[in-house]
Amino acid sequence: MKYPGNSCIPLIALIIIIMTGACQSGKKGSPVLIEDLDEIETAGGIESFHQIYHLYPSPGEMLSAIDMSDMTFNKSLLHPVDQLDRYHDSRAKSYVLGVYMTDLAYAALFGRHEEALNYLETVKTLSEEININEAVDESMIKKARENVEYLDSLYVISNDAFMNILTFCEINERSNSVVMLSAGAFVESLFLAVNMIDDYATAGYLLQHLADQKYSIDNFMMFALSLETDDPGVESAIRDLEKIHSIYNGITPGTGEVSVKSPEETDEAQIKKLVTGSDSSGQPGLSEAEFESLKTAVIELRTRMVGAC
């Protein structure tokens, strides 16, 4: 079966389609694996996916799609940890938790040990303040300290922290928290990416990575809207991302299709997994004018997100 990148997937547990596999090989079209597909139903010709344990790409996975070999760590792009006391309500804290988790991943990817530990401590503190303290505990902090010299360990720990928080929120039916912290993480990832581009003409790979987020924001918005809640935090996240979503809606979607294999169609090693991918012809493009509009919108929104609320 096939579905276009922006078709409706109701009741999905927040799947952001991102070419995570491509970040390892440098090639487009590598598959993304989404764990544990339990049920596929067809109604009225529309494919609906139910009871999916989501594999939401962590900020580290999102950022690692960027080839950082020629990039320089820029601490000034990160949101300072000493700003934590500025946030008082749960919406602001959830947003900035996503921001700090992305900054943690960014520091870990560049092997900045001290910064990574500082951000992990901040993530733990903020998680406690919004009552998801079981997700990031002292054992994780201890493990990070003991493995501080190992880049891969810091990266894995940053991913584990993000996934633990999403899993905790899912188990405790806190979809509103998932929406807000995911919005913060997504916007911060875009913020770091757009600020890494100094010259549009020479930023082909990074620009393609940004363009691919058309599918990510489509699925994020579909999930947020599917909650059908009057939660002010969810409503705020939808409003905040509308401008960026509108820009992505205007970019060239590509001519290919995104294909999906059911568990029965995958090989034995991939049993119970949904495999998603597309060839290079299906990748959207991002013109220079669209990039400039996106950069402006991302910077504006990120500034508001980290502003004291």
In this predicted structure, the answer to whether residue 220 has a pLDDT above a threshold of 80 is: yes
What mean pLDDT comes out for the span 105-117? 89
In this predicted structure, the answer to whether residue 215 has a pLDDT above a threshold of 60 is: yes
Q: Give the chain's length.
A: 309
What mean pLDDT comes out for the span 51-76? 66
What mean pLDDT comes out for the span 258-278? 40
Which tops the pLDDT comparison, 134 or 108?
A: 108
The total number of structural domains that make up the chain: 1
Residue 258 near residue 3, CB atoms below 8 Å: yes
In this predicted structure, the answer to whether residue 5 has a pLDDT above a threshold of 50 is: no
**Per-residue pLDDT reduced to its tens digit, 149-169:** 776 778 888 888 888 888 888
Mean pLDDT lowest among 169-173, 241-245, 250-254, 279-283 = 279-283
The overall average pLDDT reported for the chain is: 73
In this predicted structure, the answer to whether residue 292 has a pLDDT above a threshold of 60 is: yes
In this predicted structure, the answer to whether residue 48 has a pLDDT above a threshold of 50 is: no
Confidence of residue 33 (pLDDT cuts 50, 70, 90): very low
Provide the residue range defining the domain that includes 226.
Answer: 2-306
Rounded Cα gap, residues 54 and 34, in angstroms: 7
Mean pLDDT lowest among 79-88, 124-133, 183-192 = 124-133
Which tops the pLDDT comparison, 253 or 225?
A: 225
What secondary structure letter does DSSP report for 216?
A: H
Strands (E), 25-151: 32-35, 39-43, 46-50
Confidence of residue 303 (pLDDT cuts 50, 70, 90): very high
What mean pLDDT comes out for the span 136-144? 85
CA-wise closest residue to 135 among 92, 100, 166, 157? 166
What mean pLDDT comes out for the span 200-210? 85
Most confident of the following: 16-20, 82-86, 268-272 = 82-86
What secondary structure letter does DSSP report for 28?
A: T
pLDDT for res 65: 67
In this predicted structure, the answer to whether residue 13 has a pLDDT above a threshold of 90 is: no
pLDDT for res 119: 94
Rounded Cα gap, residues 168 and 121, in angstroms: 18
Confidence of residue 137 (pLDDT cuts 50, 70, 90): confident
Q: What predicted TM-score, i.e. pTM, was given to this entire model? A: 0.75
Confidence of residue 267 (pLDDT cuts 50, 70, 90): very low
User: Please, which residues have CB within 8 angstroms of residue 286's CB and are 6 or more apart in sequence?
Assistant: 207, 208, 210, 211, 251, 294
What mean pLDDT comes out for the span 172-180? 89
pLDDT for res 124: 92
**Alpha-helix runs per DSSP H in the chain:** 20-25, 59-63, 90-109, 113-129, 138-146, 151-171, 175-194, 204-226, 232-249, 288-306
